[in-house]
């Protein structure tokens, strides 16, 4: 009996390694898509934006692959509580990664649609939001790959910073569009595009926070307490 448990444990560890590699593959694809989407938006690069949009199917394909690996592991092994926590955390994590990919596509689509309008300087606070959102995503992938739940709280705190910046950007854009002599309708549309980008970045922060919280639960077996 003990030998059978040892074999199951070894086989499950192989499953886990394979699943982690796939999730990291998906995460790096999403991170690359976000980087390209941001650059396409800020540099008005339509070709790069189209690349992000067309690459979303590849992200979805990896998500399906992870789904199948998790289901296969549950079906073939006899997972105990800790192993089940890992599988369920993975299934939720890839859902958030897929949605981050969708938000990146949304940013890229704005880059395409705004090419026909006058270019306006990118709001400085929006530029800082980009840096915070990308840093959060990369750090969340790192804590997932190492199962380091201790770093999760710090990532979640940065989401509060991102939310504050979003509020600042929103108010600045409203004031800009409402001020006399703010420009013609096309200029206002270009500014509205930046407002939408800020919203997409804020949503990305929410999804990254979900990932960080699930890593904490996977590692500690309890919910991360809100500060």
The answer to whether position 212 is within a domain reads yes
What band does 26 get if pLDDT is binned at 50, 70 and 90?
A: very high
E-strand ranges in the chain read: none
User: pLDDT tens digits for 66-103?
Assistant: 999 888 877 776 666 677 888 888 999 999 999 999 99
Give the rounded percent of residues in the chain with a pLDDT score beyond 90.
59
Query: Poorest-confidence range of 8-12, 79-83, 91-95, 172-176?
Result: 8-12
Provide the number of structural domains found in the chain. 1
Q: How far is CA 2 from CA 5, 8, 52, 60, 204, in A?
A: 5, 10, 50, 40, 45
User: pLDDT tens digits for 205-225?
Assistant: 999 999 999 999 988 888 887
Q: Residue 179 pLDDT more than 90?
A: no
The answer to whether position 225 is within a domain reads no
Note the pTM of the prediction, 2 decimals: 0.89
The answer to whether position 111 is within a domain reads yes
The answer to whether position 167 is within a domain reads yes
Query: Poorest-confidence range of 43-47, 117-121, 122-126, 159-163?
Result: 117-121
User: pLDDT tens digits for 108-138?
Assistant: 999 998 887 777 788 899 999 999 999 999 9
CA dihedral (63, 52, 104, 151) positive or negative:
positive
Please name the residue that has the structure tokens 């409402």: 178
User: Nearest to residue 30, comparing CAs of 121, 125, 108?
Assistant: 108
Identify the domain containing residue 151 by its residue range.
Answer: 2-220
What band does 4 get if pLDDT is binned at 50, 70 and 90?
A: very low
**In whole numbers, what is the pLDDT of the chain averaged over residues?**
87
Contact 110, 182 (CB under 8 A): no
The answer to whether position 226 is within a domain reads no
CATH for 59: 1.20.58.220
């Amino acid at each position: 009996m003990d030998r059978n448990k040892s074999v199951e444990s070894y086989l499950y560890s192989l499953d886990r390694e394979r699943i982690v590699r796939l999730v990291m593959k998906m995460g790096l694809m999403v991170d690359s898509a976000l980087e390209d989407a941001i650059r396409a938006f800020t540099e008005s690069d339509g070709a790069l934006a189209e690349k992000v949009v067309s690459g979303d199917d590849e992200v979805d394909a990896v998500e399906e692959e992870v789904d199948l690996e998790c289901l296969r592991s549950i079906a073939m092994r006899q997972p105990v509580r800790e192993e089940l926590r890992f599988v369920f955390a993975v299934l939720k994590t890839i859902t958030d990664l897929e949605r981050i990919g969708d938000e990146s596509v949304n940013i890229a689509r704005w880059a395409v649609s705004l090419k026909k309008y006058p270019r306006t300087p990118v709001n400085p606070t929006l530029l800082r939001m980009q840096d915070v959102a990308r840093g959060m995503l990369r750090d969340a992938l790192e804590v997932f790959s190492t199962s380091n739940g201790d770093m999760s709280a710090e990532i979640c705190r940065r989401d509060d910073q991102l939310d504050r910046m979003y509020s600042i950007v929103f108010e600045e854009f409203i004031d800009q569009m409402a001020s006399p002599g703010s420009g013609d309708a096309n200029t206002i549309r270009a500014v509205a595009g930046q407002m939408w980008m800020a919203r997409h970045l804020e949503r990305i922060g929410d999804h990254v926070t979900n990932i960080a919280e699930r890593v904490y639960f996977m590692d500690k077996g309890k919910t991360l307490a809100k500060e």
